[in-house]
Structure 1
Amino acid sequence: MRPNIVTEAGLPTRVSQWWEGIPFLTSAIVIICGVIYLVCLLTGYDSFEEICFWPLAVIHKFQVYRIYTSVIFHGSLLHVMFNMLALVPLGSELERLMGSVRLLYIMILLAISNAFLHLLIAFLVAHNPFHPSQYLMNECAIGFSGILFSLIVIETSLSGAQSRSIFGLFNVPAKWYPWILLVIFQVLMSNVSLLGHLCGILSGFAC
């Protein structure tokens, strides 16, 4: 009598099954951002000041295209990988709840509201009567993380969870979850846009 031989699926099979389980819109965003980064890498394109969210250029030159180009471009391989790996579970969950069309509509609105809040805060800081500073007006923000922070707020609200895990290390009250992530990323990672992430959280609550 021959024994039953049980084999585990190989890595390519498991990756294929994982990818097939990702809804359409979420996988489309991952592909778009990944292809854009790959094209930039192969062509040597690194003039991100042309496409980043630069408040001074948006206000003075009316370069409103930056609202969306800044979202789909990323500055490094680690940057795009981290954002897309964060998007997959988050976007998949929301897309299953809302549907692809509604989630796309919300993401478009989030990009606009994030940009509006970003411009408003940068302008107020630059023209306040106490200590005016042009720093935020000249900040060049790039990447999908602003929208990710908005989606974190929305998904946390829709889930009804009372607590959330921080990287599997400890739990925090759900209402503090996005704020604690904001502080952690700001402390642990260099050259990240505090204002971009903050505006993402504020837009998420508004939504």
Structure 2
Amino acid sequence: MTDSDIRTNPDNFCYRHPDRQSFVLCQRCLRTICGECQTPLPVGVICPECLAEQRKAASAKVTRMPRRRVAGLDGKPVVTYTLVIVTSVFYLIGLIPGIGLHVQNLLAFQAQLAYVQPWRLLTVTLVHASIFHIAFNMLALWALGRSLEPLLGRWRFLALYLLSALGGSVLTALLAPNTWVVGASGAVWGLLGAMFVIGRHLGANVTAIAVLLGINLVITFLPGSNIAWQAHIGGGLVGALTGVIFARTRKIRQRALQIWLLVAVGVGLLGALAVPLYLSA
């Protein structure tokens, strides 16, 4: 409203209530407003329309802080589910006549073949001897992964699983080089070892995990169990070591150190695998 408009309104009636005379102007549009239409501000009063516009402009300027999403901390253990599905699919492929046996022979672990076919160090986790064997391992992987993966993050959890599997294969190659090994037990033992170490570091009650480790250890050494204890112990030890690394390098500024330590564990395991070759040379 301009000054000329004000002069043509000598009686100064409220623009929203023409029957109410007032001598108070809105500080923004300069229209006359009665007491009911006035909203006090530090610099005067404004009318309802100007107040609504001001609130709308203020709300438009407010931006929400983006949610900080951390990989693996969204509660969905994607890697765990993927490992369970992939392993189960390979087990089903192994049941196909004519094809299954060939696939199993190509993926199972035996130290002498691993030197020329290194993928066997990890693909051993995809081959299982029976339905009970894979059911037990996948149940343990599902149960442990649902807790560990959201805690560690997807890539750390995958690194833990693979390093544990590698640890089981390497110790088997060192102590039982002529033994054929199948199953993901070494990797699962690594998850148990890491959970025990990380739980202790965080101050959690790890009694149940310790009991589970003890029971599995007894079963592993039962006469006639036909279990490659070397894979279990190797996977458990490497898993515990990886758990120590994760527990001691949790800060963001330690991320590079954590990666290098994990690489060092992998290189060290491969170096240990070369010891028999060096001794036989």
**After superposition, where does 1:2-151 map in structure 2 within 5 Å?**
23-43=77-97, 45-47=100-102, 48-59=104-115, 62-120=116-174, 122=175, 136-151=176-191
Q: Which has the larger radius of gyration?
A: 2
1:195 aligned onto 2:241: no
Q: Match of 1:42, SS?
A: coil
Distance 1:189 1:78 in 2: 16
Distance 1:190 1:117 in 2: 19
Aligned to 1:183: 218
Structure 1 position 164, deviation (Å): 2.5
Q: What residue ranges of structure 2 are gaps of 5+ in the alignment?
A: 1-74, 243-281
Distance 2:221 2:196 in 1: 21
Which structure has more RCO (C-alpha within 8 Å, separation ≥ 6)? 1
Structure 1 position 185, deviation (Å): 3.4
Contact map agreement 1:87 1:148 (CA 8 A) in 2:
yes
Contact map agreement 2:108 2:180 (CA 8 A) in 1:
yes
Aligned to 1:18: none
Structure 1 position 179, deviation (Å): 4.7
Paired residues, what number? 163
| Structure with the largest fraction of helix | 1
Identity %: 33
Q: 1:84 to 1:116 in 2, by over 3 A?
A: same
Q: Give the TM-score normalised by the residue count of structure 1.
A: 0.69
Distance 1:69 1:57 in 2: 13
Contact map agreement 2:163 2:238 (CA 8 A) in 1:
no
Structure 1 position 177, deviation (Å): 5.3
Structure 1 position 184, deviation (Å): 2.3
Q: Give the TM-score normalised by the residue count of structure 2.
A: 0.52
Structure 1 position 141, deviation (Å): 0.7
Q: Match of 1:192, SS?
A: coil
Distance 1:202 1:158 in 2: 13
Partner amino acid, structure 2, of 1:164 = T
Structure 1 position 180, deviation (Å): 4.5
Structure 1 position 162, deviation (Å): 4.8
Distance 1:24 1:189 in 2: 36
Partner amino acid, structure 2, of 1:86 = A
Q: 1:26 to 1:163 in 2, by over 3 A?
A: closer
